[in-house]
Amino acid sequence: MNKNTESNQPKRRVNRLIVSVAVVATVVWMSILLILLNNVSGSTDPIRKVGDQFQVPSDWVLTSERIVPPRFFCIGDIACPSLSRAWSTKTRVTKEILAESLLKSGWNFTIQDDCNIPENRFGNYVSTCWMDGTIDDYNISVWVTYNSNDETQYNVTIDVSPSR
């Protein structure tokens, strides 16, 4: 080896170290920035307002609610913003009862299926009817299920998400 090559080796190591540190620092900085941006969330008021339009009978019990605020970016299958609510009732939910709830809500959507319990049913929760529509730039889905292990248990679920 000549003397010139030997003197360049430490210089190359230093350059590689500087580049490696710069790359790692950039990756760390970008990761922190993305985490911070994703934690900045907007107001849930607009999507909550649409969800609150859905009027349910007084004997339905709210069993779950999930409201995801708008974020810089969404991860997974859950839209952001989104709203999901579920009610439970011991009263059979007929097409007429669901239509009355939609009418009270001011929604003119067509209910799919007849809300009757199907003869051939599989699984614990069986869908009997549903509807889809759009209000104020939000997609709305409402569906009725019943528990095949307890045929006096009906569930009604609403999902609201942006119509992008």
* pLDDT for the residue numbered 45: 92
Residues 8-34 have a mean pLDDT of 76
Give me the percent of the chain exceeding a pLDDT of 70: 86
* pLDDT exceeds cutoff 90 at 87: yes
Residues 22-74: pLDDT tens digits? Answer: 778 787 777 666 665 555 567 889 999 999 999 999 999 999 999 998 877 77
Q: Higher model confidence: residue 123 or residue 95?
A: 95
CB 72 within 8 A of CB 36: no
Helix (H) or strand (E) holding 35: helix 3-39
Q: Indicate the DSSP class of residue 77.
A: T
* pLDDT exceeds cutoff 90 at 158: yes
Ordered by start, the domain boundaries in the chain are 1-39, 45-162
* Residue 34 φ then ψ, to 5°: -65, -40
* pLDDT for the residue numbered 15: 79
